[in-house]
Structure 1
Amino acid sequence: MPSITKQIMSGAKWTSISTMCITIIQIVQFALLGNMMTLTEFGLVGMITTVTVFAQIVLDMGFGAALIQRDDATERQLSTLYWLNIMTGVLLFVLLYVSSPVIAGFYQREELVFLIRILAIMFLIAPIGQQYQYMLQKQLHFNTLSKIEIFSNVLSFGYLAIAVFMMDAILAYVISQVLLQSSKGLLYWAVYRKKWHPAFVFDLRGMKEFFSFGAFQLSSRLVNRLGANIDMILIGRFIGAEALGIYNLAYQIVTIPVLKINPIVTRVAFPVFAKNKYENSVIREGFLNMTKMLALVSFPLLIGLVSVSDAFIAAVFGEKWLAAVPVLNVLAIVGILRVLMNPNGSVLLAKGRADLAFYWDSGVLLLYGLSLFAAVQTGNLQTVAWVYAIISVFNFLIGRWLLSYVIKLNLSAYFQSIMKPFLITAAMGIIAFGVSLGTEHFSLQAEMRLAISVAAGALCYLFLLVKAYPQTKSKLLRKGRLS
């Protein structure tokens, strides 16, 4: 049996390819929307995104993780799960359609009624392939999953790039999201239906174990997402759509790496950890290697972004969005911590401790909710961002303690695994920031300042990376000779 690190790296290779492609597509997409939309319209995107996130979690009901974690699911149970997903999708469509005026009233934006009703269509189609996705994931078929995700994102963006010039940008965006989720569901079904198809049975009595695990997982994910999105909800309600547009742009920029790196972790780590659930030493080894890998990828992306944030915003989104720069710089702290915290969930679920994840997330939600509710009363976005960052630091530290309890993780070993990547990235950030400041004196356009600063930072990072990890150079040279 391959070592846990090899299993993780093999799965991560395909998922990384998918992630890189999708990240590029999303950056271009947000640049397009940022230039085509007003600040208020971008705020509506934040409101719609929040609704979508919660509805997708309810659609899963925690059964996806239960299916991957359990090795003894019967054909009868699998078929029941499938039809339960289909029925949940129909129920979500009805609930969103009926409750759209209530959601619009909460945000005081009437246009949300029509947009949410269009969005709800995805929940009639996506569930067709949802269980097939989990089966592919359980069997570690990450190459197939990656190809489907790349194709669906290209299809969705291709539609958006054309439609945004033919209709309201916000409507084009909503339809593109329906197309994205629906095409993924249909493709998962198409590639796996010959290997398995559900029988026409529905037996809830045999689902006790799935409901027990899934209930905690569903509750934990809902609480976790509420904690992660409560800032958006409160800003949209109490400060307004334009302020949410500014905040949402900054938030989306710093979380694109998070949302795209996270699937590499959860999709690969959870099934691999679950196969080794009784061996804490094996999970610790995989967890520390994964943490180092995440740090080497996320630190330069987010710290580098802060170093050139003003030039980046002006060049990519236009000067009308410069108010987002101070918020972005603070939220980068949140982005880094969220990447580092992501493997926590995979470990807890693999150990069968969805209950711990739920209790932890519930406590954090209460803390986030009270703190951010107080922060939005100031009407200042930077205050909201700083409060969010401070609570995230506290959440991160609690998470380290929890892992030391569950898998006996040595905290010294953990911080040692991220120290070298942090020092390398800090040096890179100083260089990039210095170059960015220096280029201001030459009256260069934002695009040129950004290109020069990024090039200087990237060269610095690669040089220090090879110095700190000599084995990286030998691997690159070896691959170069083979090619």
Structure 2
Amino acid sequence: MSLKKKTFWGGIWNSLSSVSLTGLNFTITAILARLLSPNAFGIMGMIQTTIALINMMNQFGLSPAIIQGENLNQKRLSSLFWFNMLVGILMTGIVFFSADLVALFFNQNSLAPLLRLISIVFTIVSFSFIQQSLLRKEMKFKELFNINIISTISYGIITIILAVNGFGVKSLVLGYISKNIITTILIILFNRWLPSFRFDFKEIRDLLNFGVYVFGSSILNYFNRNLDYLLIGRFLGAEALGYYTLAYKLMLIPVRKIGGVVGNTFLPAFSQIKNKPKSIKKYYLKVLQLISLLTFPMMGGLLIVAPEFILSVYGENWIPVIILVQILSITGALQSLGTTVGTILLSQGRSDISFKWNLFAVSNLGVAMLIGMNWGIIGVAVGVAIFSFYSFWISFYITGSLINMSLLDLVKYIRKSFLYTLFMMSIVYLTKTYLVSPNIEQLPIQLAVNVTTGVITYAFIFLIVDGKEYFNQIKRLKNVLK
């Protein structure tokens, strides 16, 4: 199969995976929000910082190195496997024995036993790390889709059953461990590569040299994405973090999944044409345009209907989340595009720039949140939004310089999505204000009317202005793939 066909079907499967997982996680979170308290979500938010560390540390920057790497023979892969296993076991020990210190940092004594329990995941995921990277390198996204769907459904069933039976926050921890066990088993079944019992450091030195910058960037990116959790949990408490965690899951995880589709699909493809910056620029701008067409209306619409949405889906216990969702909608729209920056940097072999960028981002984000903390979680959300706005332009200026893409090129490709979204938001706001009754007992009906209005309005203006062009592009794509 040609690279173009692999990329196309990879995009289809990754998109399907993103939509399906977003829907599943939304449903699971909505059910759990009715069963668990904001305090429980806050404690899980503290644990989430460890989970994020698991996902980052255990790779040691090697996944992009494997996708980029050549001559991946049995000896090299086996050496990588045993090196990664060593890292996983080491991280399990570090988290297990430092659990009391983490609990002390957050001033939550109940955190320590939960951290010791979840530390085993470091070792669990090490067993399937190489196999998962190979599936991505070979662009076998259908298999990864099946794995993610099965493991997420299993996680939802296990966690909800435990929550119903009074396990509280422990249900979230046990559900997460179960999910990773199931994922590991499925990955090994779908890619039955097995390591040899040998290790040669010389075989992986070049991959580690590339990975060390990715690893450094990952550490900085970890603080970039979790500094808000750390500061809110430490200084504002579990309940405040619970509200922020729900808003964060609701707003940023879906758009990051959409951006993740680009990373998972196009990093292998862009890596194969890394010496053709004009081709990368052409396809990258179209990808950014497509992402903006999807995420801008999602974020703009949710900003308008946040009160009806939160009260209808999660209940009155979560009213403080409304203003957080409205503020973070700005961040969500920008980050849906910003999450693709790393794909270009890594495809060009510039993990060093990624490291330097993340160093800049962490320091600036930390300042923004520390200032905002004077006004509580709302101030932190505002700080995150402000940082996201100005860092967005800087990151694309740096990335564009590698593929001869200007900021004007970027604006040209996303401006229609922005204008369509503004028009849709205006219509939904007018409908909400003047045509729908504000009766609190009819909130689900109001939500349904507003969402339907938004979808119809956005689809209408898109089809009128751009429909013909996109239908022609689909026809050309069909002809290419025949």
Q: Which amino acid aligns with 1:153?
A: T
In 2, Cα distance between the equivalents of 1:421 and 1:2? 31
Q: 1:268 to 1:111 in 2, by over 3 A?
A: same
Quote the Cα distance in structure 2 between the aligned partners of 1:463 and 1:209: 52
Residue type of the alignment partner of 1:9: F
1:397-438 CA-partner distances (Å, limit 9, x unpaired) = 111110222111132221111011111122112222222334
C-alpha offsets along residues 317-348 of structure 1, whole Å, 9 cap, x if unaligned?
A: 10121111111111111111111111110111
Check whether the contact 1:269–1:343 (CA below 8 A) recurs between aligned residues. no
1:138: Cα distance to partner? Answer: 0.5
Match of 1:429 in 2: 425
Report the secondary structure of 1:126's partner residue.
helix
CA distance in 2, matches of 1:179, 1:247: 25
Which of 262, 267, 270 is equivalent to 2:264?
267
1:466–1:473 Cα contact (<8 Å) kept: no
1:51 aligned residue: 50
| 2-structure distance, mates of 1:421, 1:12 | 20
- Structure 2 counterpart of 1:297, from 294, 297, 300: 294
Q: In structure 2, what residue type is equivalent to 1:288?
A: L
Superposed displacement of residue 379, structure 1: 4.3
Structure 1: unaligned runs, 5 residues or longer: 479-483
Equivalent residue, structure 2, for 1:481: none
- Give the match for residue 331 of structure 1: 328
Greater shift, 60-69 or 127-136, is seen at 127-136
SS at match of 1:380: helix
* Contact 2:54 2:121 (8 Å CA) reproduced: no
1:417 has 2:413 as partner: yes
4+ residue runs of structure 1 moved beyond 4 angstroms?
1-4, 472-478
2:394 to 376, 380, 398: 398
Residues 21-74 of structure 1: CA deviation (Å, up to 9, x unaligned) = 111111111111211222211111211111110122000000111000112333
* Superimposed CA distance per residue, residues 250-295 of structure 1 (whole angstroms, 9 cap, x where no aligned partner): 1111012123213211110111110111100111012101101111
Equivalents in 1 of 2:298, 2:181: separation in Å?
Answer: 31
CA contact (8 A) 1:254 1:302 kept: yes
The reply to whether residue 253 of structure 1 matches residue 250 of structure 2 is: yes
Q: Aligned-pair distance for 1:231?
A: 1.1
Residue 232 of structure 2 is matched in structure 1 by 235
- Greater shift after overlay, 324-333 or 59-68? 324-333
Partners of 1:441 and 1:65 lie apart in 2 by 51
Contact 2:256–2:335 under 8 Å retained in 1: no
Residues 287-319 of structure 1: per-residue CA shift (max 9 Å, x gap): 101101111111121111111000000001101
d(CA) in 2 for partners of 1:442 and 1:328? 22
Written as runs of structure 1 = structure 2, the 5 A alignment for 1:177-196 is 177-193=176-192, 196=193
Answer yes or no: is the 8 Å Cα contact 1:236–1:243 preserved in 2: yes
Deviations 1:352-393 (A, max 9, x none): 1000000011011111112212322x1422211111111111
Q: Is the Cα–Cα contact under 8 Å of residues 89 and 123 in structure 2 kept in the other structure? A: yes
SS of the counterpart of 2:339? helix
Whole-angstrom distance in 2 between the partners of 1:397 and 1:281: 21
Inter-partner Cα distance in structure 2 for 1:259 and 1:421: 18
Letter of the structure 2 residue corresponding to residue 411 of structure 1? L
Shift of 1:7: 4.6
Q: What letter corresponds to residue 304 of structure 2 in structure 1?
A: S
Q: Which amino acid aligns with 1:81?
A: L
Cα deviation for residue 103 of structure 1 reads: 0.6
User: Would the aligned equivalents of 2:393 and 2:407 in 1 still touch at CA under 8 Å?
Assistant: no
User: Aligned partners of 2:439 and 2:363: how far apart in 1?
Assistant: 49
Aligned to 1:172: 171
Residues 410 and 259 (structure 1 numbering): CA distance in 2 closer, same or farther, change over 3 Å? closer
Which range is displaced more, 282-291 or 121-130?
121-130
Alignment gaps of 5+ in structure 2: 477-482
Q: Residue type matched to 1:230 in 2?
A: L
Aligned to 2:219: 222
Give the distance between the partners of 1:437 and 1:473, measured in 2 at CA: 35
Determine if the alignment matches structure 1 residue 125 to structure 2 residue 121. no
Q: Deviations over 1:65-111 (max 9, x none)?
A: 10001123332111111111222222221111111111110000011
Letter of the 2:413 counterpart:
S
Contact 2:259 2:291 in 1 (8 A): no
C-alpha contact 1:61 1:218 (8 A) present in aligned 2:
yes
What CA deviation, in whole Å up to 9, does each residue of 1:216-247 have, x standing for no partner? Answer: 00110110121121111101111111111111
1:62-461 → structure 2 map (5 Å cutoff): 62-193=61-192, 196-376=193-373, 378-438=374-434, 439-442=436-439, 444-461=441-458
Query: In the alignment, is the contact (CA less than 8 A) between 1:239 and 1:379 conserved in 2?
Result: no
CA contact 1:307–1:430 (8 Å) conserved in 2: no
**Residue 10 of structure 1, CA deviation:** 2.1
Contact conserved, 1:220 with 1:357, CA < 8 A, in 2?
Answer: yes
- Counterparts of 1:144 and 1:259, CA distance in 2: 21
Q: Indicate the residue corresponding to 2:480 in structure 1.
A: none
- Distance change >3 Å, CA 3–CA 139, structure 1 → 2: closer
One-letter amino acid matched to 1:410: S
Aligned to 2:479: none
Equivalent residue pairs, number: 475
Contact kept in structure 2, 1:220 and 1:358, CA below 8 Å: yes
Q: What amino acid maps onto 1:149 in structure 2? A: N
Give 1:475 deviation, angstroms.
8.5
- Please state whether the residue corresponding to 1:151 is helix, strand or coil: helix
Query: What is the alpha-carbon distance in structure 2 between the residues aligned to residue 268 and residue 237 of structure 1?
Result: 37
Asked if the contact 1:288–1:414 (Cα under 8 Å) also holds between the matched residues in 2, the reply is yes
In structure 2, what is the Cα distance between the partners aligned to 1:324 and 1:22? 22
Does the 8 Å CA contact 1:42/1:248 hold for their aligned counterparts? Answer: yes
Normalising by structure 1, we get a TM-score of: 0.94
Q: Corresponding residue for 1:16?
A: 15
Cα separation, 1, equivalents of 2:52 and 2:161: 25
